[in-house]
Structure 1
Amino acid sequence: MSGYEIRAPLRGWLLVLACLSAVALVYASVVPLHYQPLAFDDAVAKFGKTPWLNLSLYQRADWVANALVVMPIGFFAAGAVSFARGRFGLLRVWGAVIAVVLATMLLVFGIEFVQVWFPPRTVSQNDIAAGCAGAILGPFAWPIFGAPLLAAWARIQGASLGAQRRQLVLRLNLAAYLMMLIVYSVMPLDLVLSSGEWHAKWASGRIQVIPGGEAFRWLQGNGGWSDLFSLFMSGVRIVPVGFLAWLCLSAKWQRLLVFGVPVLVEALQLPVFTRYASVSEVLLGWFGGMAGVVIAMNRQRLWGWNRFLILRLGVVMVVVAGIAVGFFGGAERWADAKEIAAGVDSFFSAPFVKYYYGSEFSAGSNFAGKLLTFAVLGAALANLFGYGRERMPVLGYVVSIALVLGLGVVIEVTQIYLVPLVPDAADVIIYAAGAAVGWKAWAIGMEATELRIGEL
């Protein structure tokens, strides 16, 4: 089976993803859904006076985010039209890509025009320019990122079972993880462009050159639990790098990635204003990478311990405890009667409307953080119920779904009574999606790392 034959059936799915990205962009662009009647002629006149805004350093991240949220449309659409073959195949592909760019730009203008009816949305030439940039960059990102990943997947599908296939799966996962880690590290690309902005970043404490300075400030009462959690995650995020590198790369490349990636991540975050660059995070990243290597070296022994139900259950409980700390650690006090009533009234608001009240980057980070957190829980539940079987039993899925949804509801209801937490019933959808990602990741990991119950 050729790579083309493997990829071609995905064309429809890529087109569906492009359409879903467009629908999501339109919805996100009109929240918080405060429609204000306005005559069409008046709307046209108002749109014709759309201003160009002088954005400050603190608004630059949102401007970049406006470009990034448009890119998936062109990215997936370019993938869907990139299968043409024959004498004029390449010409047809470029023609389709140009059509995708123009259609996406038209959508950007249309969205900005529609926003005239939805205050307090800001209508500006800046947003139009950012959206058009995203419309252009999206299709051109496909041959750089999408096509190579699709080709790698084709090689995996065509590889024979055994060591060759496992190596390809592991290297693809490592490359994808490194790509996501690097992209996340430079988001939202609000780059520091002047000496004054460098000074502002330094003064805001976003550059830390003294190891352990964050923990020292926390002991003095100048930091919160979120600061310690951020430090902890700076080590955890490198664990998969060490783990995957040991399984599929030579010793030279293992050392390069374990010790080089944490330095690279912090170096990339240095010129990004809203990101923190810290020597402490480099050190913790090294520790996390080495921990990943140790876990990979002893994976069979650790997997043997996994046969004990009490241990698997303990992992789930630790993850749930971590979720509780992460979600409730920012609470400052109990809500009063008026605040509780307001939380109850807004509990069933339109999906994800509350993400509007903040920056685009903070909304995206919040969404991704919740998704990944529950992906960890999903993997822990898959391990709990799926151990000793080729796949999770139906009962395991039923119980896991009930636990995830129940925990999600408890979290959101509890947030009604805690200030300044924001309850939102729609977040339960994110939690369920994250758990599903965790279940799938666990199944892939079992195959790629050769952890088979019958071999122990």
Structure 2
Amino acid sequence: MSRNESNSRSLLWLAALAYTAFVIYGSLVPLEFRALSWDEAVARFGAMPFLKLGIGSRADWVANLLLFIPLTFLWMGALAAGAGRARTVLMTLMLIPAATAWSLGIEFTQLFFPQRTVSQNDIFAETLGGLVGVLVWWGTGRRFVEWLQSWQHIHARAALAERLAWVYLAGVLVYNVLPLDLTISLVEVFHKWRDGKVNLIPFGRLPDDAAYALYEIATDALIWTPLALMWRLDGTRNAWRVWGMTLATAAVLEVMQLFVYSRVSDVTDLFTAAAGAALGGWVGSRLATREASAGQAPPWAMWLPFTLTAGWVAALLFVFWFPFDFRTDGAFLRERLHNFLTRMPFEAYYFGTEFRAATEVLHKVLFFIPLGALLAWFVSRLRWTWRGFGTFLSLVLIAVTSVGIVVGRLAQPDKNPDIMDIVLQWLGGLLGFVMIRIILSRKVRAAQPRKHMVSRHRTMNRIKDHA
């Protein structure tokens, strides 16, 4: 087995184990255990109902189906990647019944956690999802492994940016079809129109509060900024083409949302996408021309990223602390801190729809990506001897900002912070920092051979002159 194959196999094992832990935790959160006798649990499991799927429960059924597709797909990769057909067939014959057994075990365990709903529908959906995951591996597994291995050979900034753009677009697509209550019924689409879930008036459905309205506009715009940024960094598209591609993508997804029953199709999203695309294209253009103008920047320009970082931290405090209704009495703060520390991770995300949970996660991550990106920009302007120290301080600053925001939200009665908010915000900042550092470092490395050749050419000329 080659080194690339070994690395891909290890990555698939890690992904399979991590996703399995996610499935277990997500199926049992908020982990409020209630003891049952074995006989009672078996009796309840035997009387498990088959629920009628209406428009409201359709999303849960589809979510359970989709939950198990990556599970068996990743385990097929961990157990059968690079193996022959006989081993792949054997793993298939093992994983399909294992997925059914896994589903039965999860549903049975959920009986001891009363806030979870147990039904035959879930078992059927999860088993079907497990089967689909195995079939998807048979159809695309080899190409998927080759795709993983090819990431190790990407050295050009343009190729990396292009790949990251399409991976990010896949995530945006998934987000835009949540909570998966899909419909192709024209009657249901008409009901959606009648219920006011289709808005053709720009900015006609914004909250009355100006700050909340600004928050919604900013988050909707920021969703599209990374996509435009990475498409611009590809180097083959100018800013106007990137802006048009991003806006066209947003329009297509907005049309798709017509067939997601609980989502609001709003023409305002096109305006926010246009703004986000313009911002991403502008930042991408600045990064693309950074090398050409590096020697022409005035001394004060070195501190520009740091100044923008301070401004963005102030913006984060405003967004997450508004309307600043802090309470400082000791009893309230002690109770809030106790509940915060004793609550299970992601418990605050459990109450509500899958779309709300995904939105909260996305907002926490997206707002901190610019913070990490600005710090990476600042670090890239430091001398080589200071960059390691600058990186350490940047990651500490991201963590301190995240903790400070959550502490402030604990002092506000209407906020409901989760301990995972700190992790998600820090990961968002880390993602922005790493992405910009990789892009800038690869760009510099790509330019080094040319500089070396110029230096060598000048040296040869001096030797000839002295001769």
Residue identity opposite 1:63 in structure 2: W
Alignment of 1:98-137 (within 5 A): 98-137=93-132
Out of 250, 258, 262, the position equivalent to 1:274 is: 262
Q: Deviations over 1:191-215 (max 9, x none)?
A: 134445324433444322123324x
Residue 415 of structure 1: CA displacement? 1.7
Paired positions, count: 442
For the pair shown, the structure with the greater C-alpha radius of gyration is 2
Pick from 206, 210, 213: which aligns with 2:197? Answer: 206
Q: Which residue of structure 1 lines up, in the alignment, with residue 455 of structure 2?
A: none
Match in the other structure for 1:361: 355
Question: Following superposition of structure 1 onto structure 2, how do residues 435-454 of structure 1 map, counting pairs within 5 Å?
Answer: 435-447=429-441
Deviations 1:100-123 (A, max 9, x none): 333233212101101111112211
* 2:7 maps to amino acid: P
* 1:315 alignment partner, one of 299, 308, 314: 308
**1:192 corresponds to 2:183:** yes
Note the alpha carbon deviations across 1:364-393, whole angstroms, 9 max, x for none: 332233233333322322323343456983
Matched, 1:231 2:217: yes
Residue in structure 1 matched with residue 92 of structure 2 by the alignment: 97
Partner of 2:464: none
In 1, the alpha carbon distance for the partners of 2:268 and 2:354 equals: 28
**Aligned residue in 2 for 1:29:** 27
What amino acid is the match of 1:348? L
CA contact (8 A) 2:219 2:363 kept: no
Paired letter, 2:5: R
Give the Å deviation of 1:34: 1.7
Q: Using the aligned pairs only, state the percent identity.
A: 26
- The residue type equivalent to 1:123 in the other structure is V
* Counterpart Cα distance in 2 of 1:440 and 1:145: 29
1:374 counterpart letter in structure 2 = F
Structural mapping, 1:317-396, within 5 Å: 317-329=310-322, 340=333, 342-349=335-342, 350-388=344-382, 393-396=387-390
Asked whether the equivalents of residues 11 and 79 of structure 1 are also in contact (C-alpha less than 8 Å), the reply is yes
SS of residue matched to 2:114: coil
Shift of 1:184: 1.9
- CA distance in 1 between partners of 2:320 and 2:230 (Å): 29
CA contact (8 A) 1:388 1:453 kept: no
C-alpha contact 1:84 1:92 (8 A) present in aligned 2 = no
Tell me the TM-score normalized by structure 2. Answer: 0.81
Contact 1:212/1:280, CA 8 A, preserved across alignment: yes
Deviation at 1:347, TM superposition (A): 1.4
My pick for the range that moved more, 274-283 or 346-355, is 274-283
Q: CA deviation at 1:124?
A: 1.4
- Secondary structure of the residue that 2:259 maps to in structure 1? coil
Q: Is 2:346–2:419's contact at 8 Å kept on the other side of the alignment?
A: no
Equivalent residue runs for 1:12-27 within 5 Å: 12-27=10-25
Q: Secondary structure at the match of 1:23?
A: helix
**Shift, 1:38, TM fit:** 1.1
Q: Whole-Å Cα distance in 1 between the matches of residues 338 and 289 of structure 2?
A: 52
More displaced 10-residue stretch of structure 1: 45-54 or 7-16: 7-16
Distance (whole Å) between structure 1 residues aligned to residue 191 and residue 326 of structure 2: 31
What is the CA distance between 1:301 and its match in structure 2?
5.0
Residues 1:264 and 2:252 aligned together: yes
For 2:349, the aligned partner's letter is: Y
Aligned letter for 1:322? A
Aligned amino acid, residue 229 of structure 2: F
Give 1:172's aligned residue.
163
Amino acid at match of 2:336: G
Q: How far 1:413 moved relative to its partner? A: 2.1
C-alpha displacement of 1:153: 5.0
Give the match for residue 8 of structure 2.
Answer: 10
Shift, 1:35, TM fit = 1.4
**Contact 2:243/2:274 (<8 A) preserved:** no
Select between 187-196 and 259-268 the one with higher mean Cα deviation.
187-196
Moved more, 269-278 or 108-117: 269-278
User: Offset at 1:147?
Assistant: 5.6
Contact 2:189/2:258 (8 A) holds in 1: no
Greater shift, 339-348 or 8-17, is seen at 339-348
Does the 8 Å CA contact 1:6/1:154 hold for their aligned counterparts?
Answer: yes
2:37 to 27, 33, 39: 39
Alpha-carbon separation, structure 2, partners of 1:224 and 1:274: 25
Contact 2:228 2:277 in 1 (8 A): yes
Q: Aligned-residue CA RMSD in angstroms?
A: 3.5
Unaligned runs of 5+ in 1: none
State how far apart, in whole Å, the 2-side matches of 1:262 and 1:396 are: 37
Please state how far the C-alpha of 1:295 moved relative to its aligned partner: 3.8
Q: For the Cα contact (< 8 Å) 2:348–2:417, is it kept in 1?
A: no
CA distance in 1, matches of 2:305, 2:129: 44
TM-fit CA distance, 1:287:
4.3
Superposition deviation, residue 44 in structure 1 = 0.6
Name the CA distance, whole Å, in 2 between partners of 1:144 and 1:411. 46
CA contact (8 A) 1:170 1:448 kept: no
SS at match of 2:341: coil
Segments of structure 2 that go 5 or more residues without pairing to the other structure are 452-467
**Relative to structure 1, is the Cα distance of residues 120 and 338 closer, same or farther in structure 2, using a 3 angstrom cutoff?**
farther
Deviations 1:223-259 (A, max 9, x none): 6644443333443333344333343445797576244
Does the 8 Å CA contact 2:410/2:417 hold for their aligned counterparts? yes
CA–CA separation in structure 1 for the residues paired with 2:26 and 2:436 = 31
CA separation of 1:20/1:309 partners in 2, compared to 1, >3 Å: closer, same or farther? same
Q: Is the 8 A contact 2:251 2:270 kept in 1?
A: yes
1-structure distance, mates of 2:434, 2:262:
33
Indicate conservation of the 8 Å contact 1:78/1:97, yes or no.
yes
Q: CA deviation at 1:93?
A: 1.8
Cα deviation, residue 276, structure 1: 2.9
Give the Cα separation in 2 of the matches to 1:224 and 1:66. Answer: 38
Determine helix, strand or coil for the equivalent of 2:419. Answer: coil
Give the AA of the match of 1:77: W
Displacement of 1:77 in angstroms is 1.5
1:75 corresponds to = 73
Q: Secondary structure at the match of 1:364?
A: helix
